[in-house]
A and B are shown apart, each in its own frame.
Chain A
Amino acid sequence: MGQYNMGYHVKEGFRSIFTHGLMSFAAVCMIVACLIIMGSFSLVAINLDNTLGDLEAKNEFTAYVDEGLNETQARALQSRLEAIPNVDSATFVTAQQALEDYKQRYVDSEYAELFELPDEVLRHRFRIHVEDIEALAQTVAAVGQVAGIADTQAALEVAQGFVTVRNVAGAVAWILILMLLVISLFIIANTIKLATFHRREEIAIMKMCGATNWFVRWPFIFEGMILGLIGALAAFLIQWGIYGIIVAAITEYGGLQILAIVPFKALALRVLGAFAAAGLAIGAGGSLLAIRKFLQV
């Protein structure tokens, strides 16, 4: 770009936006729509991941201590259990404490009298938290191998279910985002192509006067980038509003309390950055695609 031309290109980019006001408005609307769709899917994926991460953090299984070990011997197993890979922590629970927990849980139940039992009925045990839920099966097996551990009990199917849901949701979100990016690129390219069509004569004259392809491209690229940024900013504000409404609805509806919602303020900078980058890329990429044909003079 020539030293005297930068200001000219930007000015021409702005001028073209206002000259083709309706087209520009259509392009911004398309960018807003695409970004909101992409943003919504991304936010759903982020929140799902956060929820599953939250559930993962709570995930644990139980390892029962051999009845032949007394409480001191049983407690001594803790360091060996915590040395096993993927074990985040091992919390010792005495047989008496385990019984108290059961009683507490079923205090209002019709089965409460079933727990009027001696302490010896239950075993000492460890509640073991894992770091990675995907490696739960291997960790359970490794714990089962420790001398002094009689048995283990883990909800392997539930854990595997969490992993599957998170992985599928993540993959679907990425595929949708990529598809929408490609679709929006072509929509923007077509919108800008209509504006470019009105200026084909001007482009042909420029080329005949010795303009390089980049001299012709720059104003259109700036135009696309400006439209992309305007679209990104509008989409960000709308996304913020939509997110707030949905969060309020979820909070009001108690049945969805299992969801761990990330506050928008915590995501705002990332969302704004991603929207601005996507808007710029879609605008510039769309302009380059649109003008390609008109440069062949």
Chain B
Amino acid sequence: MIRLIDVQKTYDNGTRALKGVSMKIEDGEFVFLVGPSGSGKSTILKLITGEVTCTGGRLMVNGYNLNNIRPRQIPYMRRTLGVIFQDFRLIEKKTVEENLTFVMRVVGASPREIRKRVPYVLQLVGLDHKGDRLPTELSGGEQQRVAIARALVNNPQVIVADEPTGNLDPQRSLEIMMLLEKINELGTTVMVVTHEKELVNRFSKRVVAIESGRIISDGMGGYYNNGSV
């Protein structure tokens, strides 16, 4: 579960990125976080992943209170999250399989667990036949599938995707979104940050809209719906 209560963030240069954001994402939910560039979406993501700390309000992520979390606890909090980036951020010199095993090693998984889990996750994202390929040998859509597999491989409670379709064509974008929906149906909470209105509108999911550091709408349906905040 993710909970933000009146969260504020002012950067060192004086920029007020968030001006009192409150929202709650329950376990098993699928949420789109939408808004124009500079609205504060990425700041919310960075707060959730522990890259930055809030300057006001309270923030809870999967049982961790990020207001007073110790630096040494942050890696363990991050293990409850799976993060997907717009630019995939795969390690180019490692094969698809190695990109996944590497992440499992990070959390101290045994070789047996790795041998069992990696093929399963690759099959889930439809890449079970491409485990020995290098990321550069794959298409953009396939690379994003590898990134999704990497986010999933440690069985996180929440998947956080930052503009996951930003570098893909509409057809591949739809496929990726459908894959994330499938993962959500298997029980993982999914939060997708995007500004692609048409794509959001194709799914009947909760949409939280943010603008100028404030939530302007929060409800089921499409982009910028009239739901109450």
Contacts and interface: CB of A to CB of B under 8 A. Distances in A.
B108 A5 contact: yes
Interface stretch (A48-56, A187-195, A209-217, A271-279): A209-217
B160 to A, nearest CB: 10
A210 B105 contact: no
A202 to B, nearest CB: 5
Interface in A2-24: 2-5, 8, 19
Contacts of A8: 105
Interface of A is mostly: helix
B79 interface: yes
Interface string B146-175: 000010001000000000000000000000
B103 A297 contact: no
B108 A2 contact: yes
Interface in A230-281: none
A201 interface: yes
Interface stretch (B3-11, B20-28, B70-78, B135-143): B70-78
A141 interface: no
B198 interface: no
Contacts of B91: 201-202, 205
A208 B83 contact: yes
Interface in B48-95: 49, 51, 72, 75-79, 81, 83, 89, 91, 93
Contact of B75 (A201, A204, A212): A212
Interface residues of B, number: 24
A192 B107 CA distance: 26
B187 interface: no
A209 B89 contact: no
Nearest to A1: B108
B111 A211 contact: no
Contacts of B77: 210
Nearest to B81: A210
A205 B72 contact: no
Given A5-B105, A215-B106, A297-B51, A207 B75 contact: yes
Contact of A205 (B89, B108, B111): B89
A210 B154 contact: yes
Of the four ranges (under 10, 10 to 19, 20 to 34, 35 or more), the interface on chain A belongs to: 20 to 34
Name the residue among B51, B93, B105, B150 with the largest chain A CB count within 10 angstroms: B105
B102 to A, nearest CB: 8
Nearest to B83: A208
Nearest to B109: A4
A209 B106 contact: yes
A105 B79 CA distance: 88
A206 B51 contact: no
Contacts of A19: 93
B110 interface: yes
A210 B111 contact: no
A210 B110 contact: no
Interface in B100-145: 102-103, 105-111
Contacts of B105: 4-5, 8
B206 to A, nearest CB: 25
A206 B94 CA distance: 13
B72 A212 contact: yes
B134 to A, nearest CB: 14
A209 B108 contact: no
Nearest to B107: A210
Contacts of A3: 108
B75 A210 contact: yes
Nearest to B80: A210
Contacts of A4: 105, 108-111
Contacts of B81: 210
Name the residue among B89, B93, B108 with the largest chain A CB count within 10 angstroms: B108
Contact of A201 (B51, B79, B83, B89): B89
Name the residue among A3, A202, A205, A210 with the largest chain B CB count within 10 angstroms: A210
A208 B49 contact: yes
Contacts of A208: 49, 78, 83
A40 to B, nearest CB: 41
A210 B106 contact: yes
Given A208-B83, A209-B103, 8 more contacts: A4-B108, A202-B91, A206-B102, A208-B78, A209-B83, A210-B107, A212-B72, A297-B51
Which 10 A-B residue pairs are closest in the complex by CB-CB distance?
A210-B79, A2-B108, A210-B78, A211-B106, A212-B75, A209-B103, A210-B75, A209-B106, A208-B83, A202-B91
Interface of B: 49, 51, 72, 75-79, 81, 83, 89, 91, 93, 102-103, 105-111, 150, 154
